[in-house]
Amino acid sequence: MDGNHDIQREQPYHKRTQCEVHREIYRDLKRRGISESDPVITKLRDAYDMGKKLNNKLRQYRYNYDDQWWEDNKLAGGEISDADDDQSDDYEITGTPV
């Protein structure tokens, strides 16, 4: 473990999301020269999409959204990228909580 990870663990107010961790892994792999066609990147993208789907399915249950909302929003939430200022966890999801 690097020192940065230890510092974040000691600061409980800093909550990292699953998608944020996926983006960190993606950026680390890109910095190491791993190509987009590498199977590890493909699996990481799959895991990122699964996380987005899970988050949005839980939102559907919590706010009692209908199945059409799910179809429209299951992949909402941004893309995995190597941009350090990517704030894709600021979800753009349609609908208003009931």
Domain enclosing residue 41, as ranges: 35-74
* Count of structural domains, the chain: 1
Amino acid identity for residue 82 in this structure = D
48 found inside a domain: yes
Residue 66 lies in a domain: yes
Give 1-28 pLDDT, tens digit per residue. Answer: 455 555 455 555 567 788 888 989 999 9
pLDDT digits (tens, 9 = 90+) for 30-82: 999 999 999 999 999 999 999 888 888 888 888 888 888 888 888 787 787 77
Report d(CA 19, CA 45) in Å as an integer: 10
Sign of the alpha-carbon dihedral angle for 50, 56, 59, 60:
negative
* Calpha distance 33→25 (Å, rounded): 13
- Its pTM stands at 0.64
**Domain annotation covers residue 43:** yes
